[in-house]
Amino acid sequence: MMARKQDRLPLASLLALATAAFITILTEALPAGLLPQMAQGLAVSEAWVGQTVTAYAIGSLLAAIPLTFATQGLRRRPLLLAAMAGFVIANTVTTVSTSYALTMVVRFLAGVSAGLLWALLAGYAARMVPEHQKGRAIAIAMVGAPLALSLGVPAGAVLGTLIGWRVCFGIMSVLALILMLWVRIQVPDFAGQAKGKRVSLRHVFTLPGIRPVLFVVLAFVLAHNILYTYIAPFLSVAGMAERTDLVLLVFGVTSLIGIWIVGVLIDRHLRALTLISTLLFGIAALALGLAGTVPAIVYAAVGIWGVAFGGAATLFQTALAKSAGEAADAAQSMLVTAWNMAIAGGGLIGGVLLDRLGVSAFSPALLVLLGATLAVAWAARTHGFISVMVERS
């Protein structure tokens, strides 16, 4: 009976972290569903409103590593609460702001909070449970991200039409306040790293397994964002422009299936799941390249892509946390930076491919990136994406 109690996951605490992930992703992506309303309210074009997402990503990209290393010695729960307070402030100001410039400033600050929070989440979840449950704990903490993309953004778009975009951001502020109370009551606190145990950026980067995982993150997420960012023009060429919402819904639903599969199996099969996810994404990319004008193939390929991508963040964060050990938070800040670089790179590289070669260039580009991902993940069997046999020995 005692063993069973010890094996129970601290679900209330982990779900609080999942809600933090939900708020983080929804705060970032919500403007994408509210472009016309926000453009009218701030008296700018929709293209300029789209840059509020860019400002958020830049804030995360610039802040994650320096802020995480600067706060190594601080207790974890107050730091988590401070990151959440950043969302309360940013979303409250966005709710009442009539100035585009002010909105951009607070969006950048929200991104700074997100950079810190993302660096904390995986390590926080891992510290709540014994070694054999770390992967499942991280999977639960990360479930808020695909939920925000698949359900939160569409729901926000509907609410924005019905009650106004400002109310949507106001609701986000209230949710963040409630979450702060939840975290204060339910989530355990942990000490920061003692002065003698604090690590440098160089030390963490050179730990065995860190660089292969970061490369896999960069290449895999770059491939994803080339396709995801430009899915509308890809579907337009296939004569499916009016079905973009349905295609994205298929992606969102299958992503949830992917994260569920990963959550169940990750603690025993992290390496196999990483390799299978990469192969599945490659199959989807190949199918879209060969038969991307056939609607049935497109839906099937997008479904496979969703399954492959849904649990990717959990796989990468778990691999990095296992490789970094006590330096998990510092390593996760590098993952946040690599992830946001891939987002920015996906927009840039995908745009160049689209302008110069058209959507037919997407599939070959994705296959090159995913081939490199598979090769590096396969080679990292002793450090990074460790096989079960190596881990047991």
CATH of the domain at 41: 1.20.1250.20
Please check whether residue 224 lies inside any domain of the structure: yes
**Per-residue pLDDT tens listing for the chain (393 residues):** 344 545 688 889 999 999 999 999 888 878 877 877 888 999 988 778 878 877 888 898 888 888 888 888 889 899 999 999 999 999 999 999 999 999 999 999 999 999 889 888 878 888 898 878 887 888 888 888 777 876 777 777 778 878 889 999 999 999 999 999 999 999 998 887 766 666 777 888 888 889 999 999 999 999 998 888 788 788 888 888 788 778 888 888 898 899 889 988 988 899 999 999 999 999 999 999 999 889 999 999 999 999 999 889 889 988 988 888 777 778 888 888 888 888 878 878 888 888 889 889 999 999 999 999 999 999 998 888 886 545 544
Please check whether residue 195 lies inside any domain of the structure: no
What is the torsion angle, in degrees rounded to the nearest 10, for the CA atoms of residue 14, residue 20, residue 26 and residue 29?
-100
pLDDT score recorded for residue 6: 54
Residue pair 271/387 in contact by the 8 Å Cβ criterion: yes
Residue pair 106/90 in contact by the 8 Å Cβ criterion: yes
Q: Of 160, 188, 216, which residue constitutes the final position of a domain?
A: 188
How far apart are the C-alpha atoms of 169 and 95, rounded to whole Å?
Answer: 5
220 and 342, same structural domain?
Answer: yes
**C-alpha dist (Å) from residue 36 to 30, 88, 101, 211, 306:** 12, 24, 18, 41, 28
Q: Of 188, 216, 247, which residue constitutes the final position of a domain?
A: 188
Please check whether residue 268 lies inside any domain of the structure: yes
How far apart are the C-alpha atoms of 49 and 31, rounded to whole Å?
Answer: 7
Please check whether residue 374 lies inside any domain of the structure: yes
Domain ranges, residue 373: 201-392
Neighbours of 242 (CB within 10 A): 9
140 CB-near residues (< 8 Å, 6+ apart): 9, 11, 14, 15, 17, 18, 125, 263
223 token code pair: 């491939």
How far apart are the C-alpha atoms of 134 and 322, rounded to whole Å?
Answer: 9
88 and 27, same structural domain?
Answer: yes
Residue pair 111/86 in contact by the 8 Å Cβ criterion: no
How far apart are the C-alpha atoms of 101 and 82, rounded to whole Å?
Answer: 24
Q: Which of 164, 157, 280 minimizes the C-alpha distance to 223?
A: 280
Please check whether residue 29 lies inside any domain of the structure: yes
Q: Of 188, 218, 251, which residue constitutes the final position of a domain?
A: 188
158 and 291, same structural domain?
Answer: no
The domain tally of the chain equals 2
Tokens 């994404």 belong to residue:
281
CA angle 248, 254, 257 (to 5 degrees): 150
241 and 144, same structural domain?
Answer: no
196 token code pair: 């003698």
Residue pair 315/194 in contact by the 8 Å Cβ criterion: no
Tokens 């590098």 belong to residue:
334
DSSP 3-state assignment of 174? helix
Residue pair 21/142 in contact by the 8 Å Cβ criterion: yes
